[in-house]
Chains A and B, each alone.
Chain A
């Protein structure tokens, strides 16, 4: 059953987005996230959706599987937008009812706008960020992170060690899933059940899996450390890499495209706002947006 789970959610394909330098992708994802937080108008949201859709299309990942990544936060999105619908009380009143003399239930135009924008923002954030993990293997990600964090070496942060620990952890996720599956089967065969009873009972039922899992993880870690030592592993600066990361022309193009997108968002926020004020007069007065 765990065999079906692919690590992270890397989707193998041969596209321009896949071939970008991981460092570029990490940085641009951060830029994109910052950009999304600066969006204020529906026009900018439309631009962002257009931008994200084109990136997804270029990356050759089925749109449906990208959209699936929203599933995990669906509840959060619904919860947040419904709550905001009730708690934003400025603007034109659409519906009002006094529950008690001091308690009013009120839905306003600003609240509706705010909820819609919040939903869009969360969905855009998650889809955009998941695009990074869709197009980048975990190993590339760690390499990219290591390279990006290397300035921290100046203040004696063991960047290389952190990167090695990360990649080993990633490497062992499938192994441990396999192991978990085996142990679960063995305990099930002895009559254990993991999906019945209350929450305390279920938590207790996990012990027969967790303890053997811990034991074998420690054993594995120990063996791995021995094996690395035996092959003279050391984390000095002189270590070279099998795959050197290199910036190239496509990274520059990607950077320019994302910067262009950011420029549109910022201009729209601070100078333009034209279309939105025509479509929804009054919405811009809403202070929280």
Chain B
């Protein structure tokens, strides 16, 4: 069975052969398996956006290969690829344009040329998934919703295409803590119910550590490492060199280690660290 996403030797240069030439990606190789919650992290300008723009052919490939479910991303496959890969960009509420939430969510399915009742079904399903009540929201203008609701509506617009792979770029950025928690819970729920493969881009290492099965770290257009969050974050030096932060738990653990308290393994979630500290105390008491 082919991997959900398979990238081999991908390179990309902006403004080739001009004084403004800039290498954005260089020799990227990795694959995302079906059913995986895959994280991509990297500082600003590390090439994350360029990388995900290749996943559904928004950027024309210059060198290398990108395969989605075994299908090469190129001009003749563009339609098929775009219906498989759902992209939720940063601040997706910017894409809202229709008079009503219903029409906006239906934009994608309409472009797929689906039947009227199929569109109806999908809009209902998508709004339901993101937790917007169909009867209450369908006929409202997307511009009068609150920030969090707008973002849900925009995500529903992508889900209505029923993508197999969901790409989320900084999906929680700019929301209040409550809204952020809701959106992350929504993403988790989506992975379980609808699109099992999720590619999750974030600056927040705590989110990445608690959600992702595997993480890829980008630095300056190159792939620094790929692996399970615990393995990736245990190399603290590399993470900091890539201009990133450690998850809070790992950071606290590092500080404790500097004070001479040693741990057997790297903690990446707060609960884990708490558990480890409790075990330690129990051991020292006995």
A binding-site residues for B, Cβ under 8 Å: 3-4, 179, 182-183, 185-193, 207-209, 211-212, 215-216
| Contact yes or no, A188 B94, CB < 8 A | no
B-side contacts of A186, CB under 8 Å: 87, 89, 92, 94-95
What is the bound-complex CA distance between A190 and B86, given in angstroms? 8
Nearest chain A CB to B76's CB is how many angstroms away?
Answer: 14
A-side contacts of B20, CB under 8 Å: 3-4
| Contact yes or no, B108 A212, CB < 8 A | no
| Contact yes or no, B14 A185, CB < 8 A | no
| Contact yes or no, B14 A3, CB < 8 A | yes
Cross-interface CB contact of B112 among A3, A179, A187, A191, cutoff 8 Å? A191
| Contact yes or no, B111 A191, CB < 8 A | yes
What is the bound-complex CA distance between A286 and B110, given in angstroms? 63
Nearest chain B CB to A8's CB is how many angstroms away?
Answer: 15
| Contact yes or no, A212 B15, CB < 8 A | no
Please tell me if B258 contacts chain A, counting CB pairs below 8 Å.
no
A-side contacts of B15, CB under 8 Å: 3-4
Please tell me if B96 contacts chain A, counting CB pairs below 8 Å.
yes
Q: Given A3-B15, A4-B18, A215-B143, is A189 in contact with B97 using a C-beta cutoff of 8 Å?
A: no
Please tell me if B157 contacts chain A, counting CB pairs below 8 Å.
yes
| Contact yes or no, A212 B87, CB < 8 A | no
| Contact yes or no, A208 B143, CB < 8 A | no
Please tell me if B53 contacts chain A, counting CB pairs below 8 Å.
yes
| Contact yes or no, B95 A190, CB < 8 A | yes
Please tell me if B273 contacts chain A, counting CB pairs below 8 Å.
no
In chain B between 137 and 178, which residues have their CB closer than 8 angstroms to a CB of chain A?
A: 143, 157-158, 161
A–B pairs, 14, beta carbons within 8 Å: A4-B18, A179-B94, A182-B94, A185-B89, A186-B94, A190-B107, A190-B157, A190-B158, A190-B161, A191-B79, A192-B111, A208-B107, A209-B97, A216-B94
Q: What 10 A-B pairs come out closest when comparing CB atoms? A: A191-B111, A189-B87, A211-B97, A186-B95, A190-B108, A208-B97, A185-B58, A212-B97, A186-B89, A4-B15
| Contact yes or no, A191 B82, CB < 8 A | yes
In chain B between 76 and 98, which residues have their CB closer than 8 angstroms to a CB of chain A?
A: 79, 82-83, 85-87, 89, 92, 94-97
Chain A interface main SS type? helix
Max chain A C-beta neighbours (<10 A), residue from B87, B89, B94, B107? B94
What is the bound-complex CA distance between A188 and B57, given in angstroms? 10
What is the bound-complex CA distance between A188 and B107, given in angstroms? 11
| Contact yes or no, B111 A190, CB < 8 A | yes
A-side contacts of B14, CB under 8 Å: 3-4
Nearest chain A CB to B162's CB is how many angstroms away?
Answer: 12
Nearest chain A CB to B35's CB is how many angstroms away?
Answer: 22
A-side contacts of B53, CB under 8 Å: 185
B-side contacts of A209, CB under 8 Å: 97
Please tell me if B46 contacts chain A, counting CB pairs below 8 Å.
no
Please tell me if B197 contacts chain A, counting CB pairs below 8 Å.
no
Residue of B nearest to A186 (CB): B95
| Contact yes or no, B95 A212, CB < 8 A | yes
Please tell me if B219 contacts chain A, counting CB pairs below 8 Å.
no
Please tell me if B56 contacts chain A, counting CB pairs below 8 Å.
yes
| Contact yes or no, A189 B107, CB < 8 A | no
| Contact yes or no, B111 A189, CB < 8 A | no
B-side contacts of A189, CB under 8 Å: 56, 58, 82, 85-87, 89, 158
> Contacts A186-B94, A211-B97 given; 18 further ones with Cβ under 8 A?
A4-B15, A4-B18, A182-B89, A183-B95, A185-B53, A185-B89, A186-B87, A189-B58, A189-B85, A189-B87, A190-B107, A190-B111, A191-B83, A192-B107, A207-B97, A208-B97, A215-B97, A216-B94
Nearest chain A CB to B149's CB is how many angstroms away?
Answer: 16
B-side contacts of A187, CB under 8 Å: 95, 107
A-side contacts of B86, CB under 8 Å: 189
Nearest chain B CB to A215's CB is how many angstroms away?
Answer: 7
Cross-interface CB contact of B161 among A182, A191, A215, A216, cutoff 8 Å? A191
B52-68 interface code vs A (CB 8 A; 1 in, 0 out): 01001010000000000
What is the bound-complex CA distance between A216 and B111, given in angstroms? 24
B-side contacts of A215, CB under 8 Å: 97, 143
What is the bound-complex CA distance between A21 and B85, given in angstroms? 54
